[in-house]
């Protein structure tokens, strides 16, 4: 099973795998790499806010029947465009050192590394886009990644050159500005994706496989799909409307003709549509589009914590009444969270009274809240509810270096705990790239690969900081607390610069 991007080349569809097994982008064929090099704000008239939904198309016609699908399509088709992107790469011909190859390819080959004649190779991809403002088109970032040339074709057979205003790989959105006379181009109205209900009818418009503009119909199958591993920030609408390669960046509209999503990926075994497609909701896309329009980049809110999902085993180990919320596994020093009093082991239940059930929901809530804004967190700490006000800062452009997997030499394993331990010496701290502020813990240098510890996901090179919420300073501390524990054990582990809680089942 795979998740695909849906960019189709003009003549041949080649599926591109996403990082997460099982997902293909709806627009994935000859998808190009990242960054166009044009991600800087363009000069022009002041940006206008995106158009709001219009009540011009009623849900019920005058004859009392439901809204005609053809009427909806006629309204939105002029706002959906096809996008072709081209990237030129210069490749040097490989030298042939073997005399066997020289016999077939002639003399002059293999005269030394890098001595072939460079040649150009043009890579093309097709996708879709939606007109959202005066000459502005939103699409998926992977449609225009590292493109040297971007062209936009409208429904009335006009073609335009376009330049990238800005892109946001973390949500897979990009904004283009059409060059030339944009008279007659019709921006679509953005709908409120939060109003969608399961079972609502939606239409998907785009250019699948490069065959031309196409309309398909389905329903909203699910909402708030996150933690799929497709993008860094996910809150997808799932639909069974047919979405195929080439649909990426196209429109998902409701029965009032309002844009409620940007089609981006499909779940497929074959590379074609199987009725599981994903769209970025308009309520998530709108602030990103406007930020790209006004700043050429996206500015996100930032807490400064490491988080992890809270399952039933973890909830029991932490003596929590339920497994709702997101667990804070670490708090970075001098960050908004640290200044507000957030602690490791806190469970964040809601942001501004909106419940958060997954790590994806929490990240989206904080990111979209913006910078220089105070949010109210409801936290569960030691069985009690705590309210904290956090003044968010701007997310750093580069995340902290997470290091790489490093392990200590093998040694004798203590059978009672299934591990071999070493003190955290200055030499090991340097070797394992442990942050300087960490001054406690013991290092797992070896473990039983078939034991409880390995099954829980611990590995050589992990630094154990706590056992059942009690600090560990030496191997003897860990052995004592381990043997004194009667059931499952809650372990706080430092790995690659970040901490995580792990439950070892015994």
Active site positions, annotated? 142, 172, 248
DSSP reduced 3-state for 478: helix
Strand residues in 29-154 grouped as ranges (E): 80-92, 118-133, 136-139, 149-153
What does 14-37 look like in DSSP terms, one character per residue? ---B-SSTTEEEEEESS---S--S
Identify whether the C-beta of residue 325 lies closer than 8 Å to the C-beta of residue 348.
yes
Nearest CA-CA partner of 266 in 233, 288, 234, 244:
244
C-alpha torsion 76→49→5→13, nearest 10: 50
Report helix, strand and coil shares of the chain as percent, to nearest 5. Answer: 15, 35, 45
What does 207-267 look like in DSSP terms, one character per residue? -GGGS--EEEEEEEEEEEE--SSSSSS--EEEE-S---TT-TT-EEE-TTS-EEEEEEEEE
CA distances from 329 to 326, 344, 348, 393 (A): 9, 5, 11, 20
Which contacts (CB < 8 Å, 24+ apart) does range 393-400 have? Answer: 393/301, 393/302, 393/304, 393/335, 393/336, 394/299, 394/300, 394/301, 394/302, 395/299, 395/300, 395/301, 395/302, 395/367, 396/302, 400/332, 400/497, 400/498
CA distances from 144 to 32, 296, 503 (A): 7, 15, 43
Q: Using CB atoms within 10 A of its CB, is residue 426 exposed (0-12), middle (13-18) or buried (19+)? A: exposed
b/e map 470-490, b = 16+ CB within 10 Å = eebeebebbbebbeeeeebbb
DSSP reduced 3-state for 319: coil
Calpha distance 58→130 (Å, rounded): 22
Count of positions (residues) in the chain: 506
φ/ψ of residue 290, rounded to 5: -70, -35
Identify whether the C-beta of residue 377 lies closer than 8 Å to the C-beta of residue 392.
no
φ/ψ of residue 225, rounded to 5: -75, 120
């Amino acid at each position: 099973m795979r998740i695909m991007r849906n960019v189709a080349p003009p003549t041949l569809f080649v599926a591109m795998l996403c990082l997460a097994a099982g997902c293909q982008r709806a627009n994935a064929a000859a998808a190009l790499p990242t960054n166009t090099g044009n991600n800087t704000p363009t000069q022009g008239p002041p940006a206008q806010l995106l158009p709001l939904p219009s009540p011009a198309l009623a849900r019920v016609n005058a004859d009392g029947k439901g809204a005609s699908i053809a009427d909806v399509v006629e309204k939105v088709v002029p706002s959906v465009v096809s996008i072709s992107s081209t990237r030129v790469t210069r490749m040097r011909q490989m030298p042939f050192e073997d005399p066997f190859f020289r016999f077939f390819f002639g003399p002059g080959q293999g005269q030394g590394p890098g001595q072939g004649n460079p040649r150009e190779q043009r890579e093309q991809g097709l996708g879709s886009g939606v007109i959202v403002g005066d000459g502005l088109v939103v699409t998926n970032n992977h449609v225009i990644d590292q493109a040297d040339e971007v062209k936009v074709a409208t429904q009335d057979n006009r073609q335009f050159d376009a330049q990238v205003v800005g892109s946001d790989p973390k949500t897979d959105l990009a904004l283009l500005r059409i060059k030339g006379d944009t008279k007659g181009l019709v921006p679509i109205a953005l709908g409120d994706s939060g109003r969608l209900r399961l079972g609502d009818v939606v239409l998907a418009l785009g250019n699948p496989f490069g065959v031309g503009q196409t309309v398909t119909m389905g329903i909203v199958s699910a909402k708030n799909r996150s933690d799929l591993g497709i993008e860094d920030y996910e809150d997808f609408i799932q639909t069974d409307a047919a979405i195929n390669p080439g649909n990426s960046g196209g429109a998902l509209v409701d029965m009032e003709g309002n844009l409620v999503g940007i089609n981006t990926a499909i779940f497929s075994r074959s590379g074609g549509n199987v009725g599981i497609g994903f769209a970025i909701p308009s309520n998530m896309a709108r602030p990103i589009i406007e930020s790209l329009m006004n700043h050429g980049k996206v500015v996100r809110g930032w807490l400064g914590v490491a988080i992890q999902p809270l399952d039933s085993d973890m909830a029991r180990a932490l003596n929590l009444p339920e497994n709702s919320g997101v667990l804070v596994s670490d708090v970075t020093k001098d960050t908004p969270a640290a200044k507000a009093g957030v602690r490791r082991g806190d469970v964040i239940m809601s942001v501004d009274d909106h419940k958060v059930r997954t790590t994806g929901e929490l990240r989206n809530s904080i990111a979209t809240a913006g910078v220089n804004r105070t949010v109210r967190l409801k936290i569960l700490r030691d069985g009690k509810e705590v309210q904290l006000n956090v003044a968010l800062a701007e997310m750093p452009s580069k995340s902290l270096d997470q290091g790489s997997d490093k392990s200590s030499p093998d040694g004798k394993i203590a059978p009672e705990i299934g591990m071999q331990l070493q003190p955290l010496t200055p030499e090991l701290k340097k070797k394992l790239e442990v942050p300087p502020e960490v001054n406690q813990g013991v290092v797992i240098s070896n473990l039983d690969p078939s034991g409880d510890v390995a099954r829980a996901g611990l590995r050589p090179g992990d630094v154990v900081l706590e056992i059942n919420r009690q600090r560990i300073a030496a191997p003897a501390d860990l052995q004592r607390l381990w043997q004194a524990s009667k059931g499952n054990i809650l372990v706080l582990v430092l790995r690659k610069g970040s901490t995580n809680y792990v439950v070892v089942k015994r």
